[in-house]
Amino acid sequence: MSDPGSIFTEIPNIQHSEELKPVSSETFENILHNRRSVRVYTDEKIPANVVEKVLDWALLAPNSSNLQCWEFYWVKHPVKKARLVEALFSQPAARTAQELIVAVAKLDTWKKNRKQMIDLFNTSGEHIPASARAYYEKLVPVVYNQGPLGIFGPFKRIVMSIVGLFRPTPREPKSLADMRVWAHKSTALACENIMLGFSAFGYDTCPMEGHDSARVKEILDLGSNSEICMVISAGKRAKNGVYGPRIRFPKEQFVKII
């Protein structure tokens, strides 16, 4: 059986290739610049097929180990939508929005999705590198399983600290808190796809972290292993929808060349 850790260092002997789509850097830059946090929307509706396509694009986002630790709730039911707006403190970006999408980070679906990956390996008919199979069969359960109430965490921390004295070692996730960070990182990447996707269609968005998470989870009937990453509102911006020019501090403050 292959060493599951070799998936990080070995180049697999596979022949897969994909044709690249034509792209334009100018168009992408326009999409980036057009994406603003819009606080007030008009009454113009967004076609349902646009929302569906944007959600398809969300699912194309990169994510940790392809475990797809996310769910996206397109809230259309009038009563639930009204309750969601209230849980968002009735801020204009929610109150005037045509559509609301709740991005949920999932802490526990890695088990189910890991099994799906192994099942795909078994039924794909393609050559699967032994290191990839070993990674999902052996390493993923060790890395992501934190045990009941996170009891494995202290032991993981000790083991990783000792091993890390001798070689580069993955230090996280080693606690339930780390699992939250892990799930939110992947979910946030998908949220960017949603916002840029709406921008590509000529619509606007606002990512909202200001919400009553307990009420949002109640509306969506979510359990303790679900975390609200953000709520994204969408619509066509009103004339007063953007409150001011985009402000960014000097590049040198954030980009370090070492």
CATH number at residue 52: 3.40.109.10
Per-residue confidence (pLDDT) for residue 163, from 0 to 100: 92
- Identify the CA nearest to 243 among candidates 33, 34, 36: 36
On whether both 54 and 144 belong to a single domain, the answer is: no
The answer on pLDDT for 1 being more than 70 is no
On whether both 180 and 97 belong to a single domain, the answer is: yes
Q: How confident is the model at residue 70 (pLDDT cuts 50, 70, 90)?
A: very high
**Does residue 148 belong to any structural domain of this protein?**
yes
The answer on pLDDT for 7 being more than 80 is no
On whether both 180 and 88 belong to a single domain, the answer is: yes
On whether both 211 and 126 belong to a single domain, the answer is: no
**Does residue 66 belong to any structural domain of this protein?**
yes
On whether both 147 and 234 belong to a single domain, the answer is: no
**Does residue 251 belong to any structural domain of this protein?**
no
Average pLDDT over residues 136-140: 95
Q: Where do the DSSP E strands lie in 16-127? A: 70-74, 99-106
Q: How confident is the model at residue 198 (pLDDT cuts 50, 70, 90)?
A: very high
**Does residue 253 belong to any structural domain of this protein?**
no
Q: Where do the DSSP E strands lie in the chain? A: 70-74, 99-106, 204-208, 226-235
Look at the block and give the residue holding tokens 């000792």. 162
**Does residue 205 belong to any structural domain of this protein?**
yes
CA 254/CA 185 separation, integer angstroms: 19
On whether both 61 and 148 belong to a single domain, the answer is: no
**Does residue 26 belong to any structural domain of this protein?**
no
Q: Six-digit token pair at 67? A: 């475990």
On whether both 235 and 187 belong to a single domain, the answer is: yes
Percentage of the chain surpassing pLDDT 70? Answer: 99
On whether both 148 and 198 belong to a single domain, the answer is: no
On whether both 134 and 104 belong to a single domain, the answer is: no
Q: How confident is the model at residue 186 (pLDDT cuts 50, 70, 90)?
A: very high
Under 8 Å between Cβ of 85 and 235: no
CA 243/CA 37 separation, integer angstroms: 9
**Does residue 2 belong to any structural domain of this protein?**
no
On whether both 121 and 134 belong to a single domain, the answer is: yes
Which range of residues forms the domain containing residue 50? 36-108+176-241
**Does residue 153 belong to any structural domain of this protein?**
yes
Please, what's the largest Cα pairwise distance for the chain?
A: 62
Per-residue confidence (pLDDT) for residue 5, from 0 to 100: 67
CA 232/CA 244 separation, integer angstroms: 20
On whether both 150 and 181 belong to a single domain, the answer is: no
**207-253 residue pLDDT tens:** 999 999 999 999 999 999 999 999 999 999 999 999 999 999 999 99
Instruction: Kindly report the pTM of this predicted structure.
Output: 0.94
Q: How many domains would you assign to the chain?
A: 2
Q: Six-digit token pair at 10? A: 């070995």
CA 158/CA 195 separation, integer angstroms: 40
Q: How far is CA 124 from the centre of its chain?
A: 26
Among 52-56, 158-162, 194-198, the range scoring the smallest mean pLDDT is 158-162
On whether both 94 and 143 belong to a single domain, the answer is: no
